[in-house]
């Protein structure tokens, strides 16, 4: 596959050290060539020190579009100076937790220094920052309700490992919400060898198909894709800012006692297919309870009306099965 070939090519030519050196300089002073045209809601920034705002190099605003809920645990990958963590700290509230991960100590120093000021402004502490890599996230299994990243997946030389790690640390039913640069065609090998363009979030970009393939291979489903804007064009290749979301499946085991339920798809399309089952709009479809549980959660919540049909009481058959 193209993505497998390109990943093998880049692992030998682009290293974490290259990216770290690039962003160590960016932590010391604003780098205009890294700043995409992103405008945060001023209301999200009122509790954040000005120093943090000057070294924020994302291409989107994933936190404001991740439906962050009070009490959730959020992990931000490539947190930089901490802007998205500080925005989320207010969203998850005093009972929630926000964990920032970055491989650049200079960026982490800024984030840690300002975390205390953010806590003072909010009136509570719910932030922590750790040194680490996207391919080996220093967070335990099944910890996060939501994972965000802002224009950093493209910087990794091993994106397959990144998606595997995202799945590992997400709780069942958890979600990722990622703002990233996506190319309209595969980036050629010669451009991928350009370390400067890699650091500028260009030559490490995936196509949309490549991004979703990696996510599917890691076991994610329920994708939501939004193209935000054209960032730049380099050598005839257009690079866009996208917001991409996906969900880790629930841990649902089919039981011998499982029954059936009815699912009614509410629209807006004439019909949709999920897990191999087609649902015409407005018509009841009989499905397994396990699939009904999936349709009641995550990206499908609100799209289906799940009905437990009335069933006749089954008399004890006298056997030793779990349903007896």
The Cα–Cα gap between 66 and 70 comes to 12
Burial (0-12, 13-18, 19+ Cβ within 10 Å), 305: middle
Return the sign of the alpha-carbon dihedral for residues 69, 73, 77, 83.
Answer: positive
pLDDT in tens, the chain (324 residues): 444 434 434 443 555 555 445 444 444 445 555 556 567 888 889 999 888 887 677 888 899 999 999 999 999 999 999 999 999 999 999 999 999 999 989 889 999 999 999 999 999 999 999 999 999 999 999 999 999 999 999 999 899 999 999 999 999 999 999 999 999 999 999 898 888 888 788 889 999 999 999 999 999 999 999 999 998 999 999 999 999 999 999 987 655 556 899 999 999 999 999 888 999 999 999 999 989 988 988 889 899 999 987 653 333 434 443 333
Question: Which CATH number fits the domain 260-307, given the four candidates 1.10.3720.10, 3.40.5.100, 3.40.50.720, 3.40.50.970?
Answer: 3.40.5.100
Whether the Cβ atoms of residue 248 and residue 171 lie closer than 8 Å to each other: yes
In eight-state DSSP terms, residue 186 is P
Which tokens belong to 144?
């996060």
Which tokens belong to 190?
């010669």
Pairing of strands 284-288, 97-102: unpaired
- CATH code of 2-247, in short, is 3.40.50.150
Cα 26 versus chain centre, distance? 24
Per-domain boundaries in the chain: 2-247, 260-307
Cα distances (Å, whole numbers) of residue 238 to 57, 72, 144, 183, 194? 19, 36, 33, 6, 17
Whether the Cβ atoms of residue 232 and residue 202 lie closer than 8 Å to each other: yes
Residue 281: asked if its preceding bond is cis (omega within 30°), the reply is: no
Share in percent of the chain as helix, strand, coil (round to 5): 35, 30, 40
């Amino acid at each position: 596959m193209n993505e497998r070939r390109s990943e093998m090519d880049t692992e030998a030519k682009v290293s974490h050290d290259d990216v770290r050196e690039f962003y160590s300089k960016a932590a010391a002073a604003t780098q205009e060539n890294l700043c995409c045209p992103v405008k945060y809601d001023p209301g999200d920034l009122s509790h954040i020190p000005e120093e943090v705002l000057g070294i924020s190099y994302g291409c989107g605003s994933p936190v404001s579009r991740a439906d962050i809920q009070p009490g959730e645990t959020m992990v931000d990958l490539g947190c930089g100076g901490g802007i998205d963590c500080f925005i989320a700290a207010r969203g998850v509230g005093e009972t929630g937790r926000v964990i920032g991960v970055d491989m650049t100590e200079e960026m982490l120093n800024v984030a840690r220094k300002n975390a205390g000021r953010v806590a003072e402004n909010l009136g509570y502490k719910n932030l922590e920052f750790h040194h680490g890599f996207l391919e080996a996230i220093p967070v335990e299994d099944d910890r996060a309700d939501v994972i965000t990243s802002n224009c950093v997946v493209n910087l990794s030389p091993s994106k397959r490992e990144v998606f595997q790690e995202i799945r590992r640390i997400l709780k069942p039913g958890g979600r990722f919400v990622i703002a990233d640069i996506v190319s309209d065609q595969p980036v050629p090998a010669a451009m991928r060898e350009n370390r400067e363009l890699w650091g500028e979030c260009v030559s490490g970009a995936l196509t949309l198909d490549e991004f979703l393939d990696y996510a599917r291979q890691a076991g994610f489903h329920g994708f939501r894709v939004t193209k935000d804007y054209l960032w730049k064009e380099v050598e005839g290749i257009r690079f866009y800012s996208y917001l991409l979301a996906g969900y880790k499946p629930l841990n649902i085991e089919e039981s011998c006692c499982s029954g059936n339920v009815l699912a009614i798809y509410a629209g807006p399309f004439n019909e949709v297919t999920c897990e191999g089952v087609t649902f015409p709009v407005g018509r009841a479809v009989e499905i397994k309870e396990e699939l009904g549980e999936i349709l009641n959660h995550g990206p499908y919540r609100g799209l289906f009306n799940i009905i437990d049909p009335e069933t006749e009481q089954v008399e004890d058959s006298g056997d030793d099965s779990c349903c007896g």
